[in-house]
């Protein structure tokens, strides 16, 4: 049963390593943009909370502001039929709910959260600038 001894040895090494750090680092596996463990002093503490809540509030206001008027806009201004307008609104709504899942998978498996946010923010900026010009 050498594998059990190896496993317990690895666990003991991990515990010893954790005790040596004196709790300076987060214990949840958090890493910074460079992949280094995060110091407890430099994370948390509600610093990002107002930005997260503000962003979520603006996102929800935009989503529901558009969703309530989109069928009317598509039928009255773009002269689409009711069936076509309803299908387009449903497609738009589904896309709004599925694209964050795609971003989450990319962030967790490939790019990391910072590069995923940077990539999609860049795409959003490019598309927005091209539409306004």
Domain identity same for 65 and 123: yes
Give yes or no for a contact between 74 and 89, defined as CB atoms under 8 angstroms apart: yes
**Residue (of 90, 101, 18) closest to 28 by Cα position:** 18
d(C-alpha 13, C-alpha 23), whole Å: 16
Domain identity same for 82 and 39: no
- By residue range, what is the domain housing residue 5? 1-45
Burial of residue 63 (number of CB atoms within 10 Å: 0-12, 13-18, 19+):
middle
Domain identity same for 64 and 27: no
Domain identity same for 16 and 75: no
- Write out pLDDT tens, residues 93-130: 999 899 889 889 999 998 888 888 888 888 888 988 87
Domain identity same for 38 and 55: no
Q: How many independent structural domains does the chain possess?
A: 2
Query: Which residues neighbour 113 within 8 Å (Cβ) at sequence distance 6 or greater?
Result: 107
- Write out pLDDT tens, residues 37-69: 888 877 766 777 888 888 889 889 989 999 889
């Amino acid at each position: 049963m050498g594998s059990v001894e190896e496993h317990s040895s690895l666990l003991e090494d991990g515990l010893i390593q954790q005790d040596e750090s004196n709790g300076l680092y987060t214990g949840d596996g958090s890493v910074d943009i460079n992949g280094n463990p995060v110091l407890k002093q430099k994370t948390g503490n509600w610093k990002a909370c107002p930005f997260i809540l503000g962003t979520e509030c603006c996102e929800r206001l935009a989503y529901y502001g558009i969703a309530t008027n989109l069928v009317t806009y598509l039928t009255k201004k773009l002269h689409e039929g009711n069936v076509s307008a309803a299908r387009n609104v449903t497609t738009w709504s589904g896309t709004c709910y599925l694209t964050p899942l795609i971003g989450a998978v990319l962030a967790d498996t490939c790019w990391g959260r910072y590069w995923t946010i940077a990539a999609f923010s860049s795409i959003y900026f490019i598309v927005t600038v091209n539409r306004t010009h």
